[in-house]
A = this chain, B = another copy of it.
Amino acid sequence: MSQAPADSKTENHNPLWSSLVRNLSPYVPGQQTSDPEVIKLNTNESPFGPSPEVAKAISAVLTQEGAALRLYPEPESLKLRGAIATHHGLNEDQVFVGNGSDEVLAHIFAAFFKKDRPLFYPDITYSFYPVYAQLFGINARQIPLNAEFEIDPDAYRAPCDGIILANPNAPTGKLLPLDAIRKILSEHPHATVVIDEAYIDFGGVSAVELLPEFENLVITRTLSKSRALAGLRVGYALAAPSMIEALTRVKNSFNSYPLDRLAQAGAIASFEDEAYFAKRCQQVAGLRDALIVDLERLGFNVLPSAANFVMASHPAGAATLYEQLEQRKILVRHFNKPRLKDFLRITVGTEQNHKSLIEALEQILSELNQQA
């Protein structure tokens, strides 16, 4: 009954498929589950719910006179773009919204990276970037992170038409200072430089302040992490108006109405409750720092993190710990890739989640010690 696994290049290609489909290796998202007993620390969702104003705003649309759902949403999402612009001190013509930041990124790849010279991104980064490059036939080159898992701006000096960096990087959690971003932007005035700030709200410094200086800068954001709205599918880009225009042209050639009425209303409400947002971001950062201390106490080596997750390795081995945790209904993420296979990526959860995680790890490590 289920669809073929998205990551398998199946043998039985259908001749009706385009060659594009044959050659795709789609993105594989982290495991989702509806089992309420599972402690889910694998896809960087917020441990807290969104602002209560979100549900109120959505309910208001549902009870609106004239049954608003029967009508198409406002296709330009002007009100939402206005709310986002206000949050960032920008104008609404500097804001593009989409059905999750993944859709926004897809349009960015088509609009700015489908050019002659290559696109650069780190060898370790959001694993959707190579998938987009493949989808749009973009010549991409991976630039290795240095031995400390850091982005080295000097490694990006070759001629290119585009650079995309997640900041903080995923899944390392490491932050790139604004100076380094400015250097890259200055050295590549003819390339579009995208800073994917999915995790910036947990303690990083945003590149938004560089927007007035650099027309070649595009920043992407999501409401799925710091705004606890992964279930609502809203993301956005910030850039100069002419760059937003390019994204709008691609969007209107793909799907004129990507954001439904409920998502627009809920997202606006989130931006209108700044106090709740600021409080939750701080809480998550505090929980992260406490989690790092606890993990280090258990012998983990934890990379410094500015995100809502940590990357941690342990002599007991990441694959073993991943499996043992899964058996105890605790989901974390393990990337079976050369430079990452020694690490677990653990999403920041509630205090109670962390207590359960640490207790489970203590148990697992003690059992492994006994076996050894």
Within 8 A of B (CB), among A2-38: 2-4, 6, 10, 12, 14-21, 24-29, 32, 34, 36
A36 CB, nearest partner CB in chain B, Å: 7
List residues of chain B with CB within 8 A of the CB of A32: 71-75
Alpha-carbon gap, A141 to B94, bound state (A): 37
Binds B, one of A203-211, A223-231, A290-298, A315-323: A223-231
In the complex, A262 has a CB within 8 A of chain B: yes
Alpha-carbon gap, A105 to B263, bound state (A): 22
Binds B, one of A174-182, A246-254, A336-344, A362-370: A246-254
In the complex, A196 has a CB within 8 A of chain B: no
Tell whether, in the assembled complex, residue A243 and residue B14 are in contact, meaning their CB atoms are under 8 Å apart.
yes
Binds B, one of A56-64, A143-151, A164-172, A299-307: A56-64
Alpha-carbon gap, A301 to B370, bound state (A): 88
Tell whether, in the assembled complex, residue B72 and residue A62 are in contact, meaning their CB atoms are under 8 Å apart.
no
Alpha-carbon gap, A332 to B248, bound state (A): 25
- 1/0 per residue, CB under 8 A from B, across A42-53: the answer is 010111111000
In the complex, A272 has a CB within 8 A of chain B: no
Known: A16-B215, A16-B216, A59-B59. A233 touches B245 (CB 8 A): no
Alpha-carbon gap, A344 to B15, bound state (A): 42
A261 CB, nearest partner CB in chain B, Å: 4
A127 CB, nearest partner CB in chain B, Å: 11
Residue of B nearest to A65 (CB): B36
List residues of chain B with CB within 8 A of the CB of A70: 45-50, 228-231
Residue in A74, A131, A230, A255 whose Cβ sees the most chain B Cβ within 10 Å: A255
Tell whether, in the assembled complex, residue B69 and residue A114 are in contact, meaning their CB atoms are under 8 Å apart.
no
A121 CB, nearest partner CB in chain B, Å: 16
Tell whether, in the assembled complex, residue B49 and residue A55 are in contact, meaning their CB atoms are under 8 Å apart.
no
In the complex, A187 has a CB within 8 A of chain B: no
Tell whether, in the assembled complex, residue B15 and residue A190 are in contact, meaning their CB atoms are under 8 Å apart.
yes
- 1/0 per residue, CB under 8 A from B, across A85-111: the answer is 000000111000001101100100011
Tell whether, in the assembled complex, residue A263 and residue B262 are in contact, meaning their CB atoms are under 8 Å apart.
yes
List residues of chain B with CB within 8 A of the CB of A233: 73, 257-260
6 residue pairs, one from A and one from B, having the closest CB atoms: A49-B67, A26-B252, A231-B261, A69-B231, A70-B228, A233-B260
Q: List 15 A-B contacts (CB under 8 A).
A: A17-B112, A18-B114, A20-B114, A20-B250, A28-B252, A29-B72, A34-B74, A49-B66, A50-B69, A59-B62, A70-B231, A72-B230, A73-B230, A102-B255, A106-B254
